[in-house]
Amino acid sequence: MPGICEGRVVVVTGAARGLGRAHALEFARHGASVVVNDVGVQLDGTGGDEQPAAEVAAEIRSLGGKAVVDGADVADWDQARQLVARAVDSFGRLDVLVNNAGVVRDRMFVNLSEQEWDDVLRVHLKGHAATIRHAAAHWRDLAKAGEAVDARIINTCSGAGLQGSIGQSNYAAAKAGIAALTVNTAAELGRYGVTVNAIAPSARTRMTEDVFTEAMSQPTDGSFDAMAPENVSPLVAWLGSAESADVTGRVFEVEGGAVRVATGWRHGAEHDAGRRWSPTELGPVVRDLLDRDPRPEPVYGTT
């Protein structure tokens, strides 16, 4: 039986471990050819090992699929361009871009260094922007040449970017930026046959195991492992399929067997004086607006 992504070509960034590995394997099981992108560094940014990505590619081939390994730094503008070219050169086309690569530098904001801020914003936000920019240019050129484009971008946001997270101001800011980037590029790229969506997953990965150790421990009794990264990948594969062509500009929360649509900023209650307000009269107005509007979700880590 053909898979839901049969014949499609997919780039997955950060694909050597965790969620990226699960995504790459899920796409392969459903008939896609996969570019397994990973720079192979440790969470602290040191090292550089190609072996984990090579093992994922070998596993895909053992399933009868097609895969190539790519070591591009997605936050490097030119290397991101080369990553898109690698997919086209290897498989003749590019249909899906899954942005998953990331790092963490968790620290209370008052103790955060400039380098820790820059590292996280660079890999997450710029790493998404650079790959989207070059994939979008590729698909735009095809569309302008008269070719039919049915392309997908799936970004990786986080609950930290949607609600905030204590000790993760850099990460939360980057992920909030990714959510905004998703909405904006979806509006711009639809004309070229490209959809853009994001997921905000909860799963056991290298980046989360020290933050939610107890909640994310693997069950030993054979019960459903709600924190397994493989639980997230079916939605990612569906969003990468032809079937999802009418879904764009949305953010989905995924945890265990639960899928939710995350609703972003909306216009709330309003008072319009029809003139310039005086600061002295705005106190009751603001409090009335807050009383009439839903309370925001609590920041993760607050009591």
Supply the Cα-derived Rg of the chain in whole angstroms.
21
Q: pTM value?
A: 0.92
E strands, 96-247, are: 96-98, 151-156, 194-202
Distance CA 86, CA 91 (A): 8
Tokens 């997955």, residue? 12
Distance CA 8, CA 41 (A): 28
Let me know how long the chain is: 303
Q: Which two tokens stand for residue 93?
A: 């086309």
Domain 9-262 listed as CATH 3.40.50.720: yes
| Chain centre to alpha carbon of residue 288 | 37
DSSP letter (8 states) at residue 294:
P
Per-residue pLDDT in tens (0 to 9) along the chain, 303 residues = 579 999 999 999 999 999 999 999 999 999 999 999 999 876 666 556 789 999 999 999 999 999 999 999 999 999 999 999 999 999 999 999 999 999 999 999 999 999 999 999 999 999 999 999 999 999 999 999 999 999 999 999 999 999 999 999 999 999 999 999 999 999 999 999 999 999 999 988 655 555 545 455 666 666 788 889 999 999 999 999 999 999 999 999 999 999 999 998 999 999 999 999 999 999 999 999 999 999 889 999 997
Collapsing DSSP to helix, strand or coil, 138 comes out as helix
Distance CA 216, CA 202 (A): 9
Distance CA 63, CA 56 (A): 11
Kindly list the catalytic residues.
Answer: 158, 171, 175
DSSP letter (8 states) at residue 229:
G
Distance CA 198, CA 235 (A): 10
> Do the Cβ atoms of 142 and 120 come closer than 8 Å?
no
> Do the Cβ atoms of 13 and 101 come closer than 8 Å?
yes
| Structural domain spans, the chain | 9-262
